[in-house]
Structure 1
Amino acid sequence: MAEAAVSFAVETLGNLAIQKVAFLQGVEGQVNWLKDELKRMQSFLKDAAEKGADDERIRNWISDIRELAQEAEDVVDAFLLNVENPRRSRGLLGRCACFPQHIYHLDRLGQEIESIRVRLQAIDVSRQRYGIQDLGGGMNLSGRSEDGGKRQLTPWQKDKHLVGLERDVEKLIERAVLEKWEGLSVATIVGMGGIGKSTLAREVYNHAAVATRFDCRAWAVVSREFNPREIIKSLMLQLVKQEKQREMLEIMEKSDLQNVKNMLHQELEGKRYFVVVDDVWQDEAWESLAPAFPDEDKASRLLLTSRIQGIAKYARYNHKMNFLNLDESWELFLKKAFIDNINSKCPQHLEDIGRAIVEKCDGLPLAITVVGGLLVKKRASMSEWQKVLKGLESHSGSSEILPTLELSYHELPPQLKSCFLCLGFFKEDSIIRVSKLVNLWIAQGLIQQEGIEGEEKITREEIATSYLDELINRNMVQVKEMSTSDRVKTCYVHDLLHDLSIKKAKEEISFEILREGSSRSLDKARHLAVYCSAERSISGNSNTRLRSLFIRGVGIADEIPSYWKSFGRLRVLDFEDFEVTNLPDSIRALTWLRYLGLRNTSMKELPMSLGCLKNLEVLDIAKNNGIEVPNVIWKLAKLRCLYMSQIKCKLPLRMDTLKNLQTLKYIPSHNWSPEHATQLTSLYILSIDLGENLDIGELCTSLAKMENLVSLRLIGSMERNVRSLDQLANLNRLSKLKINYRVGKLPSASNFPPYLSYLKLYSSFLREDPMPVLQQLPQLLYLNLVLDSYVGHEMVISRDGFPRLRVLSLNSLSMLKNIQLERSAMLELNRLEIIGCPLLESLPEELRFMTNLKELKLETTPQLASKLQGVNSHIISNIPSVELIISEWHGPSTELALTAALLFIRGIHKED
């Protein structure tokens, strides 16, 4: 396929025609013609791919389209690089002087487009000769389905669609956890990719028998890119208390690998632990990690998952994964293909075709899941289902799952194809921040914003989010973490689908991966991921075609070499998590850069030449505490997102020119002036660090002038109380508020923003019950009280309180003992989460009368669990989905707690 390459080119041409129209002066018609013609050719590529499987002529036709689209993109970029920068950098006389040069480049652009036009016409003639047709279909540019229907979002976090694993879970619990083996015992789960090894391990990891039996638990992913330091760091972050994590990380960064292993060994000594080591690819990887786990008389357990059979030699118990039988396969298929059908029933006229499709998946859960996600969009069309079956039959006899997954990729609309390919830019098994993914898609030019007649124009961020939702619906991306307000925060990709994204990206958009010791030429790559030290890998390579560069390896570079200036057309440069201390002054040459990712890099300072990046839209320097930032941010007029942590600057940052800035996280209050409120006209997300002498009232008064500000986070010192928050009422456009500091007292309900729908209090240490105030907020939908935001013993929610609240989350309220809930309170509540409240004695009886309550997530003690199993079972028996997590605790009630948890865990209720 070449649709992704065409999408990149069409977006580039569209930007030229719309944003740079003043430069075109006579060739704008040619530019628009080329854009429209490429879009027209894109509509034929789906049919060409179907016919090209066995026809080399058609495969060559697809390749011609791809090369021509990439050449069109190069021609446009070369024109802009040659023309736009001189005009920007000079005054009136300078622009007049370079006018003849502009005419020359304009004439050259016209000639090159004419050359492309002639070739494109020849390609179109051959298309007709080969009988390639416009199949149409897919999504329009707004991200909405063409049938006009509303997206059907998958309830990712609620229904995991486990099929055929119940017996495996029981067997592993019995043989790998409860078996009375002394000392450290290793168990393994072995099977091919996509068969459900990690899913099974996760079920065991979260099982009540594990939660109650062990002092601590942790989970690490190994994957093909084995990095023992990062794996141990991940484990340690799960094992040590939050207040010790920063110190621990600093020590680990300065220690050699052996000392890092010793740290893990010491942390686990004397404890009964349960650790999952997921996705082990090599014997050597496990042999390197094994000494870090102490073998004591504590009956600790290690669970390994792997595709390689040889890993079983390390285990006392080896669990081999089996394929699903036909009945189990059909059950899983129905749950995936008919997710919006309560009974998951297949229409009778489709059942024979559906069963034939399932049979072709050979009992492999990932294949069934992805094909089921594909058919969600096919509604009840027999012809569409038959096409899917035909596609699967064309790969009959293949021993690999990739052709089956490739069929789902083939069925994606062009926009989603391009977005899916970008998933290969991330490391295998990465946890991907949605905000970063959306910004990368936009920086790559994949999100086209077009007005829809009769509808309000939606933002590029909203379009990108809808694309991600669609990939999730099709089971090609998995959700990792949801926010309290039901937004996807992080996601991940199964490694087989990750392999597919890399394979197709190499074919379609000239993506390359450079590993240590590779001698491959990079002169043809348009997108590059480097998995080794920057100094050793990029040295000597010059590539004017390169659009994206990701440093994904492990290493340290004191300074990025100056020869990077050869990458003049680079749009994305990402160093996240790669330790580099300085950017060279030659960064000024990357004038086409849209995304610069420097998060968590140990960067000490930014160069003054950063101000030359006139096209930069996203600058991410978060998690580089103390980084020196020069006063050049104001020069980045196109900046949309600025992510920072604690920064240093010799002068207050000037920002009055940032009219396009939408997200600012975060900024010290001494860098914020009242004038910013009228200057940053597009800002709608702001995090601000409150200084010692900041007047909250003055701040709120200035913020009230910001017409687009909808989300605000206030961060302050934990050691002192912040003065009155009564001026919050001035923020009458604000819908989302996070308060992250010690608060003496909440203002009255009338002094909160009138349209507030989301409120999070974090470490506020309120001594008075906040509920009498908060329950009066008329528009509040989501309330999240976190980490001792309230330090009292009792919480009372009165009659008719919280009239619209949908989600209530109480997290880490260490002093809370009792929750009183009066009748008719929180009538709209849909989800209740109570986590990390160890003193809580019971749940309110009134929960049983709340008919809209669909989900309860409760982290509880063994005593409360046993109480729920007994006299209080009626409280939660009518809630459709209940997840009980037993705290890691030991004592005489452990077995009783096990019984209680097994009755209720994951929504399985004991009948009254």
Structure 2
Amino acid sequence: MTLEEVAMTYLSELINRSLVQVSVIDSIGDVRNCQLHYLMREVVVSKSKELSFIQTCPENLSNHDRVARHLSICNKSNNFPMVVGNYQTHSAIFFDIEELPKSFCFLQFTKSKLLKELDFEGAPLTYIPEEQGNLFNLKYLSIRDTKVKKLPRSVGKLHKLQTLDLKRSFVSELPVEINMLFNLQYFVAYYKDKQSIYSINSRRGMKLYSNFGSLESLEKLYEVDLEKLYEVDLEAYSGGNFFRKLARLKQLRKLCITKLKSESGNALCDAIQQMIHLQSLRISSIKEEELLHLHTISSPPVFLCCLRLRGRLMKLPGWIYELRKLTKLNLEWSRISDYSLQILGVLPNLLFFWIFEGYSGAQLHFHKNHFKKLKDLRLCWLNDLKRLIIDEGSLALVEHLELGPSPQLEELPATISHLKCLKTI
């Protein structure tokens, strides 16, 4: 089992014992948010203070004689103390920080030699100092939702690092020293462009030029932008070094590739076939009308449960019909036919299905006994759709139905009354 899987078993046990309460469940039944009952929270807070398990700054900084392993820094007053934490601090997490003095950052980086977790999520951070390389025990580093633009070269010294979270930061290129992080498991970096939310290029990924094939412990790689690769590596068209390195990451559970060109489809398929543990796959073409050539996978990953394809397909690759564990499927700009849709209807475990400009027909027919377990169906921007047919016995468990805009679809069919489990439309 991976660390994440072990953690999920612990969380499930806490939920089953009602020590943790579930607050948000997604459309396919996965737990997304949890919280504590207020009585349980009081117990946890009280016990944490008693054991000096957590130190909150700047509220209880007066108690310097005690050692806190975990530091929670919450400050809206901009009145930062000069000294927080100590040599025994194992984690530092920041909340609601309006301003972060540079002196404070340097102090944390140079003095907390036992620090294993550093979470700057949402903090007004603009850069990471070279002194970060001194934190040789660091396993978790998050600069999610910050304004950091690049990582220092000293990141290569963090040989114990397992998680590097750059999500929604401004980091788009990585230092070559990244290939020294042999224990890295979770690696996420992308930025959302809120101005082009309906564009295939609404998210900007990271660019990998270094020898990332040495990162063989990687379990999540989200997301890799290939656009610059084509400019510097002409072999990329026919499956150059990049895809050979990618094939070495055999432990991957989650992978996202963006800006893919048609010529590279076969090379990507060859790499994917080596990833026998893959559970989630997201592939985007370089532009909406660019064909995704993904038909050469002869033996798809048997554990694949989430698939998102963004780009022109015309016809679904045959290997998709072999994905018996598939629960989530997104097709965007694919322009598939009614025949492809009918084959998808027999997938035994599909719970979530979203089409965005992904269907080219004038009539959409959901046949009897198709999509037996589907709970969430979203048919968005089907501009050619004129008629929707729902047979009795189809979409029997659908709870959420989303339609439109479909300007030529003048009315819903009366057979929508067959959807006995429908809660929202």
TM-score (norm 2): 0.79
**Partner of 1:460 in structure 2?**
3
- Provide, for residues 99-155 of structure 1, a one-character-per-residue CA deviation record: whole Å limited to 9, x for no partner: xxxxxxxxxxxxxxxxxxxxxxxxxxxxxxxxxxxxxxxxxxxxxxxxxxxxxxxxx
1:550 deviates by 0.5
**Partner of 1:857 in structure 2?**
423
Describe how 1:452-531 pairs up with structure 2 within 5 A.
Answer: 458-494=1-37, 497-508=40-51, 510-515=53-58, 519-521=62-64, 524-531=67-74
**Partner of 1:563 in structure 2?**
107
| Corresponding letter in the other structure for 2:210 | L
The equivalent position to 2:215 in structure 1, one of 640, 654, 658, is 658
2:212 corresponds to 1:644: no
Asked whether the 8 Å contact 1:603–1:624 carries over to 2, the reply is: yes
**Partner of 2:320 in structure 1?**
752
Instruction: Name the SS of the counterpart of 1:471 in structure 2.
Output: helix
1:692 deviates by 4.2
Asked whether the 8 Å contact 1:791–1:814 carries over to 2, the reply is: no
Q: Report the Cα distance in structure 2 between the residues aligned to 1:762 and 1:480, rounded to whole angstroms.
A: 29
Instruction: Name the SS of the counterpart of 2:242 in structure 1.
Output: coil
Residues 847 and 728 of structure 1, relative CA distance in 2, 3 Å threshold: farther
**Partner of 1:394 in structure 2?**
none
- Return the structure number with greater helix share: 1
Asked whether the 8 Å contact 2:28–2:375 carries over to 1, the reply is: no
2:153 corresponds to 1:585: no
Q: Report the Cα distance in structure 1 between the residues aligned to 2:40 and 2:339, rounded to whole angstroms.
A: 47
Describe how 1:616-631 pairs up with structure 2 within 5 A.
Answer: 616-631=161-176
Residues 535 and 734 of structure 1, relative CA distance in 2, 3 Å threshold: same
1:590 deviates by 1.0
1:490 deviates by 2.7
Residues 591 and 679 of structure 1, relative CA distance in 2, 3 Å threshold: same
| Corresponding letter in the other structure for 1:674 | F
Asked whether the 8 Å contact 2:171–2:189 carries over to 1, the reply is: no
**Partner of 1:835 in structure 2?**
402
- Provide, for residues 546-567 of structure 1, a one-character-per-residue CA deviation record: whole Å limited to 9, x for no partner: 0110111322347563222210
Residues 763 and 516 of structure 1, relative CA distance in 2, 3 Å threshold: farther
Q: Report the Cα distance in structure 2 between the residues aligned to 1:604 and 1:727, rounded to whole angstroms.
A: 38
- Provide, for residues 31-67 of structure 1, a one-character-per-residue CA deviation record: whole Å limited to 9, x for no partner: xxxxxxxxxxxxxxxxxxxxxxxxxxxxxxxxxxxxx
- Provide, for residues 262-311 of structure 1, a one-character-per-residue CA deviation record: whole Å limited to 9, x for no partner: xxxxxxxxxxxxxxxxxxxxxxxxxxxxxxxxxxxxxxxxxxxxxxxxxx
Q: Report the Cα distance in structure 1 between the residues aligned to 2:205 and 2:173, rounded to whole angstroms.
A: 6
Instruction: Name the SS of the counterpart of 1:539 in structure 2.
Output: coil
1:604 deviates by 1.0
Asked whether the 8 Å contact 1:637–1:659 carries over to 2, the reply is: yes
**Partner of 2:200 in structure 1?**
none
1:732 deviates by 4.4
Residues 506 and 627 of structure 1, relative CA distance in 2, 3 Å threshold: farther
Instruction: Name the SS of the counterpart of 2:7 in structure 1.
Output: helix
Asked whether the 8 Å contact 2:342–2:366 carries over to 1, the reply is: no
1:734 deviates by 5.1
Q: Report the Cα distance in structure 2 between the residues aligned to 1:597 and 1:637, rounded to whole angstroms.
A: 18
2:362 corresponds to 1:819: no
- Provide, for residues 136-179 of structure 1, a one-character-per-residue CA deviation record: whole Å limited to 9, x for no partner: xxxxxxxxxxxxxxxxxxxxxxxxxxxxxxxxxxxxxxxxxxxx
Asked whether the 8 Å contact 2:247–2:270 carries over to 1, the reply is: no
Q: Report the Cα distance in structure 2 between the residues aligned to 1:660 and 1:744, rounded to whole angstroms.
A: 32
Residues 774 and 554 of structure 1, relative CA distance in 2, 3 Å threshold: farther
Instruction: Name the SS of the counterpart of 2:308 in structure 1.
Output: strand
Asked whether the 8 Å contact 1:568–1:591 carries over to 2, the reply is: yes
2:255 corresponds to 1:686: yes
The equivalent position to 1:547 in structure 2, one of 84, 87, 90, is 90
- Provide, for residues 486-506 of structure 1, a one-character-per-residue CA deviation record: whole Å limited to 9, x for no partner: 211233345554444322222
Asked whether the 8 Å contact 2:162–2:184 carries over to 1, the reply is: yes
Residues 504 and 856 of structure 1, relative CA distance in 2, 3 Å threshold: farther
1:620 deviates by 0.4
What percentage of aligned pairs have identical amino acids? Answer: 22
State the superposition RMSD in angstroms.
3.3
Describe how 1:140-159 pairs up with structure 2 within 5 A.
Answer: none
Q: Report the Cα distance in structure 2 between the residues aligned to 1:760 and 1:537, rounded to whole angstroms.
A: 47
Task: Identify the range of structure 1 (837-846 vs 735-744) with the bigger mean alpha-carbon deviation.
Answer: 837-846
- Return the structure number with greater strand share: 2
- Provide, for residues 69-97 of structure 1, a one-character-per-residue CA deviation record: whole Å limited to 9, x for no partner: xxxxxxxxxxxxxxxxxxxxxxxxxxxxx
Residues 506 and 794 of structure 1, relative CA distance in 2, 3 Å threshold: farther
Q: Report the Cα distance in structure 2 between the residues aligned to 1:478 and 1:770, rounded to whole angstroms.
A: 43
1:643 deviates by 1.1
1:830 deviates by 3.3
Asked whether the 8 Å contact 1:768–1:790 carries over to 2, the reply is: yes
Asked whether the 8 Å contact 2:390–2:413 carries over to 1, the reply is: no
Aligned residue pairs: how many? 392
| Corresponding letter in the other structure for 1:856 | L
Describe how 1:429-440 pairs up with structure 2 within 5 A.
Answer: none
Asked whether the 8 Å contact 2:327–2:349 carries over to 1, the reply is: yes
**Partner of 1:806 in structure 2?**
373
Instruction: Name the SS of the counterpart of 1:537 in structure 2.
Output: coil
| Corresponding letter in the other structure for 2:214 | T
Asked whether the 8 Å contact 1:771–1:795 carries over to 2, the reply is: no
Asked whether the 8 Å contact 1:594–1:615 carries over to 2, the reply is: yes
Residues 770 and 782 of structure 1, relative CA distance in 2, 3 Å threshold: farther
Instruction: Name the SS of the counterpart of 2:64 in structure 1.
Output: coil
The equivalent position to 1:697 in structure 2, one of 266, 269, 285, is 266
1:667 deviates by 1.6
TM-score (norm 1): 0.39
Instruction: Name the SS of the counterpart of 1:469 in structure 2.
Output: helix
Q: Report the Cα distance in structure 2 between the residues aligned to 1:490 and 1:833, rounded to whole angstroms.
A: 20
Describe how 1:234-383 pairs up with structure 2 within 5 A.
Answer: none
Asked whether the 8 Å contact 2:266–2:296 carries over to 1, the reply is: yes
Instruction: Name the SS of the counterpart of 2:80 in structure 1.
Output: helix
Asked whether the 8 Å contact 1:835–1:857 carries over to 2, the reply is: no
| Corresponding letter in the other structure for 1:464 | A
| Corresponding letter in the other structure for 1:563 | L
Higher gyration radius (CA): 1
2:275 corresponds to 1:706: yes
1:712 deviates by 0.8
1:583 deviates by 0.9
**Partner of 1:32 in structure 2?**
none
Q: Report the Cα distance in structure 2 between the residues aligned to 1:556 and 1:694, rounded to whole angstroms.
A: 47
- Provide, for residues 731-785 of structure 1, a one-character-per-residue CA deviation record: whole Å limited to 9, x for no partner: 243523432423241325x342622423422532626447644436544423411
Residues 809 and 518 of structure 1, relative CA distance in 2, 3 Å threshold: same
Instruction: Name the SS of the counterpart of 1:679 in structure 2.
Output: coil
1:529 deviates by 0.4
Q: Report the Cα distance in structure 2 between the residues aligned to 1:497 and 1:843, rounded to whole angstroms.
A: 50
2:402 corresponds to 1:845: no
Q: Report the Cα distance in structure 2 between the residues aligned to 1:587 and 1:765, rounded to whole angstroms.
A: 44
